[in-house]
Amino acid sequence: MAIDIKNLNHTQLNDLISKAQLRQNELRKEKVIKLREKVHALIKSEGYTFEDVFGTPRVGKRRGTGSVAPKYRNPADPEQTWSGRGKRPRWFNDALKAGKKEKDLAI
pLDDT in tens, 52-101: 998 887 776 566 667 888 999 988 888 999 998 889 999 999 999 999 98
Question: Can you tell me the distance from the alpha carbon of 54 to that of 29, in angstroms, rounded to the nearest whole number?
Answer: 22
Given this model, what pLDDT does residue 65 score? Answer: 63
pLDDT of amino acid 67: 82
Domain range annotation of the chain: 9-54, 72-105
Query: Comparing C-alpha atoms, which of 79, 62, 61 is closest to residue 70?
Result: 79
Per-residue model confidence as pLDDT tens digits over 11-40 = 999 999 999 999 999 999 999 999 999 999
Strands (E), the chain: 72-73, 81-82
Question: 69 CB contacts (<8 Å, ≥6 apart)?
Answer: 83
Q: Tell me the whole-structure pTM to 2 decimals.
A: 0.47
